[in-house]
A and B are shown apart, each in its own frame.
Chain A
Amino acid sequence: MRGFQALLVERKDLTEGTTGRYHGLLHSGGRYAVKDPAAAVECIEENRILRRIMPDCLEDTGGFFVTTPWDDPAYAEKFLAGCREAGIPVEELSIGEMLAEEPLLNSQISRCFRVPDAAADSFLATHANIESARHYGAKALTYHEVKALIRENDTVVGARCLDLVGDEEVLITADLVVTAAGAWAGKLAGSVGLEVAVVAGKGVMVAVNHRIVHTVINRCKMPSDGDIIVPIHTVAVIGTTDRRVADPDHYPIEPAEIKLMLEEGEKLVPGFSQMRMLRAWAGVRPLYQETGTADTRDVTRAYTLLDHQRRDGVGGLITITGGKWTTYRQMAQVTVDRVCEQLGVERECRTHAEPLPGSEAGTNHTLGARLRRVEADVDYGRLVCECELVTASQVEAALSEAHSIDDLRRDLRVGMGPCQGGFCTYRIAGMLAAAGRPRLEANVSLRDFLEERWKGLRPVLWGDQLRQERLDELIYLSVLNVDHLPGPSTSRFGPVAYAEATDG
């Protein structure tokens, strides 16, 4: 938008990293009102802007902060003061009013405050961003993994990438390199001898197979594990944990973390631990620190911009790290401001003012919108994924850019519902074969996707979800005999399984 010739390089698919692995909260800032006032201010500012520029990606659920019997009642006043200080609109509800809106909440809750939290579809939002960027001339290369930055004397001049699809090295040169690689930022800086200390803070989330609340529910206490439930599309997600992990690519989901989610969920919604869980996943937050600390929650959530010219005397490189999804736009703005400064041009940022593609109408996403759209579609009869209401034409249109069924999932939500790929995986594999796509070879795509679904199912396989998974086994083993098809069992586009748990 500011006239640079821009190229985005992503090692896998867009949203494959942390962006696609969070609970989907658009912060009001209430979460940080006491603990991190600077982050709270950033959040509410960006909350207002994102509501303007990407309403189609947001559901205006609103949010509650509730004091349960397990929470320090004194925190509520600090919370109120913090919200007022940060400029976050806050209103107290009576418990009767709260229960009228959210009848499943614990009736023992003593106080309830409404704030402008919202639910965000980070997959949709990312696509809207990249579409806009492309409109302004930017290019994006997915499945291009940066192996190392290229440094000549005291200047970074580009990146050496591996094209995972073509399996060949690609050299890219640029006047300026920005790394926005999240928890992987340290690794990239390290490739040119710079030290950037980014801690990977793992967060585990669990999706419940029902939309048990229509409002984001936060515990009114200092941020800790399992203190939020976000309604997103047809499900609700509880999160999260925060554990430092050494390797952002390999980490486990521990049974103790799942147990904690069930216990904490029970405090907000009695009966929670007996509900059907759909899936668990984990993502890694990038938490920047100049000095080592033990507890990752003590690291600021506010983002950090590192101008390596000033910091290390190495030009051509800017690292933007830390932060959170809610403040992504502001992080981009300050980064490009610095790019302008370094390249000696003066151009105004407009990302706060221009609606993203798909959001021009200015209306929010609503729960029933997807169903309404698909019911009006002539292709309604050809549903490939009944759980998420995805039609065959949608899949056909998305095939050309996909390298795996998992890519289609991030674009279309196929396989994200209760049966976790039980029916749509075969159907999509069939469409791939019919489309004659050798690079998306049907058999490995099918097996990769079922393995990918399995990795997030395995931590929550009990009760009805275990039963559902057994039906998927009946289909793929007994009826289809996929396990005895010839050919490789998985491809390099296949999933990276969670590491084996250590505590159970």
Chain B
Amino acid sequence: MAESVVGVGGGLAGLVAAWRAATVGQRVELVTQGWGALAWHAGTIDVLGYQGGVLVAAPGKAIDDLGRRHPDHPYAKAGLANLVQALAAFGQLCGEAGYPLEGSLEKNWLLPSAVGALRPTCLAPASMIAGDLTRGDPMLLVGLEGYQDFHPELAATNLAAQGVQADSIMLALPALRRRAFLNARVLASLFEEAEFRAQVVAKIGNAVGSVARVGFPAVLGLERATEVRAELEASLDREVFEIPVLPPSIPGLRLQRILRTAIESAGGRVHDGMSVVGAEVEGTRVKAVLTEAAARRQRHSGDHFVLATGGILGGGMVTGFEQPPREVVFGLPVETPAGNGLAPRFFDPGGHSVYRSGIRVDSRLRPLNARGPRFANLVVAGSAIGGCDPIAERSLEGVALATGWLAGGRSVEET
């Protein structure tokens, strides 16, 4: 008989756990407070970009080494095999949704960022691949006047300084002049309109020159992204690629929609706008989590629970003045470095150790206290797990996928 799984947290880890649990026939309920962290992410799957500040060329091999040297790293807990499975399964899901991801653990891509830095990432949506900076052929970067979150000249100047031939153009479009607020979400809708795309293509005109590839801010459609890009490529007769920009992230939202659709088609439910305010526990078992929405309290009971509330950014950990991070739902023990964990400089190459704070888990992702697993039916996924700084090492999505995948499979193993 199907068991019930309650997940908390609408970021990548929570969505992946809920998706996996739903596809193996569990009754899944995912409660989320808001949009989840994917709306902030670049929308690529960063598995491991830097180690000790040094660029990682082959993330798979580096993770193998990392697991041996840092047994507390979430990758060491989840194991490389889970990451491999998760990447394959998630890649397949996105491909079937018509939004293929490309890449492998053998080699990080180096793709342009919106300042023109070389961004290492493991899997990227097909929409970004023509930006590959190891190709060496020139590119044209396109900005849209009035849109503040992508500055092509800045990116092109920095790419040029690193040996990439890049030019830029800023388009003044009549359709944008009337717009009061231009953010990524508004532009993504506009790009889904053929008339707007025609204006863009016409405005670029001859500026496209002889380059083989044209880069845009990552706002080329939300629901019909693949189609939008294909049409732009056809009209421009060039390869088109996207560059991640400031939040809200359209590529992140695309991944979010794919996962939500997958959860719901497998019979799972996602409840938005519910803030978890507490839990009911009995000995070593979690009975229910309590949420508050629409001015009333609700109880979500289940056989298994997945905690994917994130770290400090996601809100799963909260600190106070001279108060170490506290886990907000179950009050689980949090491992945190000594001191305030804040380096003297923002761009300290070692990062800020406070962000390594998190829950210590066993190899089945159960939260640990001094005596062992605190709960038998609770697993933790994503940035709520301590032991690494996923932003500094560029492993945010990889850690979420590997641990989310394992967490979603836990209920299967337990039954």
For residue B341, which residue of chain A has the nearest CB? A461
Distance from A286 Cβ to chain B, minimum over Cβ atoms (Å): 27
Among B154, B249, B345, the residue within 8 A (CB) of A433 is B154
A residues 247-297 near B (Cβ < 8 Å) are: 255, 258-259, 262, 273-274
Does B115 lie within 8 Å of A480, measured CB to CB?
Answer: yes
Does B347 lie within 8 Å of A483, measured CB to CB?
Answer: yes
A434–B172 alpha-carbon span in the complex (Å): 14
A residues 466-481 near B (Cβ < 8 Å) are: 466-467, 470-471, 473-481
CB within 8 Å for A484 and B347 given contacts A433-B154, A434-B170, A478-B396? no
A431–B113 alpha-carbon span in the complex (Å): 16
Distance from B308 Cβ to chain A, minimum over Cβ atoms (Å): 17
Pick the interface stretch among A1-9, A119-127, A325-333, A380-388: A380-388
Does B340 lie within 8 Å of A461, measured CB to CB?
Answer: yes
A458–B245 alpha-carbon span in the complex (Å): 26
- Interface check A324, CB cutoff 8 A: no
Q: Binary interface profile of A, 323-349, with partner B (CB < 8 Å = 1, else 0)?
A: 000000000000000000000000000
- Interface check B355, CB cutoff 8 A: yes
Does A429 lie within 8 Å of B148, measured CB to CB?
Answer: no
For residue B352, which residue of chain A has the nearest CB? A473
Identify the B interface with A (CB < 8 A).
40-42, 46, 50, 55, 113-119, 146, 148-151, 153-154, 157-158, 161-162, 170, 179-182, 244-247, 249, 311-313, 315, 318-323, 340, 342, 344-347, 349, 352, 354-355, 391-392, 394, 396
Q: Which residues of B contact A273 (CB under 8 A)?
A: 321
Identify the A interface with B (CB < 8 A).
255, 258-259, 262, 273-274, 380-384, 392, 423, 426-427, 429-434, 442-443, 446-447, 450-451, 453-454, 458, 461-463, 466-467, 470-471, 473-487, 489, 497, 500, 504
CB within 8 Å for A392 and B313 given contacts A426-B114, A430-B153? no
A273–B322 alpha-carbon span in the complex (Å): 12
Q: Which residues of B contact A442 (CB under 8 A)?
A: 154, 157
Does B154 lie within 8 Å of A447, measured CB to CB?
Answer: no
**What are 27 A-B contacts defined by CB distance under 8 Å?**
A259-B321, A384-B148, A426-B151, A430-B148, A433-B157, A442-B157, A443-B158, A451-B345, A451-B347, A458-B344, A462-B319, A463-B321, A466-B354, A470-B311, A471-B40, A471-B313, A473-B352, A477-B392, A477-B394, A479-B42, A479-B113, A479-B114, A479-B245, A480-B114, A486-B162, A487-B161, A497-B344
A479–B148 alpha-carbon span in the complex (Å): 16
Q: Which residues of A contact B319 (CB under 8 A)?
A: 462-463, 466
CB within 8 Å for A478 and B41 given contacts A426-B114, A442-B157? yes
Given A258-B321, A447-B347, A504-B340, 18 new contacts (CB under 8 A): A274-B320, A382-B148, A427-B148, A427-B151, A434-B170, A443-B158, A450-B346, A462-B319, A463-B319, A466-B319, A470-B311, A470-B355, A477-B394, A478-B46, A479-B244, A479-B245, A484-B55, A486-B158
Distance from B66 Cβ to chain A, minimum over Cβ atoms (Å): 18
For residue B344, which residue of chain A has the nearest CB? A497
CB within 8 Å for A480 and B117 given contacts A381-B146, A451-B345? yes
Distance from A348 Cβ to chain B, minimum over Cβ atoms (Å): 50
Q: Which residues of A contact B170 (CB under 8 A)?
A: 434
A451–B396 alpha-carbon span in the complex (Å): 23
Distance from B74 Cβ to chain A, minimum over Cβ atoms (Å): 16
Q: Which residues of B contact A480 (CB under 8 A)?
A: 113-115, 117
Among B42, B148, B162, the residue within 8 A (CB) of A383 is B148
Q: Which residues of A contact B352 (CB under 8 A)?
A: 473
CB within 8 Å for A434 and B154 given contacts A381-B146, A478-B391, A481-B115? yes
Q: Which residues of B contact A487 (CB under 8 A)?
A: 161
A41–B183 alpha-carbon span in the complex (Å): 53
For residue A500, which residue of chain B has the nearest CB? B344
Of all A-B residue pairs in the complex, the 8 with the closest CB atoms, nearest first, are A430-B151, A454-B346, A433-B154, A481-B117, A470-B313, A381-B180, A462-B319, A427-B148
